[in-house]
């Protein structure tokens, strides 16, 4: 391993997580510019809309009923703690565990993307609306998708790979 290999890992982390944040923020900006709040654009009739909604809570509206100061404080602190843990675990991920490193990168990019919304607006912009008939999955965004895929890879790693000591 060359002496600059660890630096390349962090460059990869910064560039890949930064790309996720940029894509997340760009898509949210387009939604805010082109779709009025609480309006939808059908993409696949009966299955998928682009719907502009704001989520003051967490996943599935968690804590949405709490006051804005409580929500904002809890989510910002929780996100900063999560980012710290992600960086810690990324640092301790052996070089051969690329899927695990990618999982941490996805989670980091998604967490930062949603943190930006919370700091800017006090809530998160969601717009991906999947449904069947009148049954809708809660709307989500690119950051949520990155977090979900990252967690899925992480869980897969826990179940199917030997974790380093």
Q: What is the pLDDT of residues 124-165, one digit of tens each?
A: 999 999 999 989 999 999 999 999 999 999 999 988 876 543
What is the residue-averaged pLDDT of the chain? Answer: 89
Nearest CA to 54 out of 70, 71, 77, 42 is that of 71
Whole-model pTM: value is 0.88
* DSSP three-state, residue 134: coil
Do the beta carbons of residue 142 and residue 75 sit within 8 Å?
no
10 token code pair: 């962090």
Q: What ranges do the domains of the chain cover? A: 5-160
69: confidence class by pLDDT, cuts 50, 70, 90: confident
- Helix or strand run (H / E) with residue 107: helix 98-121
User: What gap in Å lies between CA 90 and CA 32, rounded to an integer?
Assistant: 33
> How far apart are alpha carbons 16 and 27 in whole angstroms?
17
Which region among 21-25, 50-54, 110-114, 153-157 has the lowest average model confidence (pLDDT)? 153-157
Residues serving a catalytic function are 126, 144
């Amino acid at each position: 391993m060359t002496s600059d290999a660890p630096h390349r890992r962090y460059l990869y982390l910064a560039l890949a997580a930064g790309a996720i944040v940029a894509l997340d923020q760009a898509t949210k900006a387009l939604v805010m510019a082109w779709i009025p709040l609480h309006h939808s654009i059908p993409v696949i009739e009966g299955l998928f809309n682009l719907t502009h909604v704001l989520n003051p809570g967490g996943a599935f509206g968690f804590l949405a009923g709490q006051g804005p100061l409580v929500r904002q404080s809890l989510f910002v602190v929780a996100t900063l703690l999560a980012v710290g843990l992600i960086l810690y675990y990324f640092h301790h991920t052996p070089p051969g565990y690329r899927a695990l490193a990618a999982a941490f990168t996805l989670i980091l990019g998604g967490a930062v993307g949603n943190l930006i919304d919370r700091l800017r607006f006090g809530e998160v912009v969601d717009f991906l609306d999947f449904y069947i008939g009148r049954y809708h999955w809660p709307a989500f965004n690119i950051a949520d998708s990155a977090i979900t895929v990252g967690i899925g890879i992480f869980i897969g790693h826990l179940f199917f790979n030997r974790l380093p000591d």
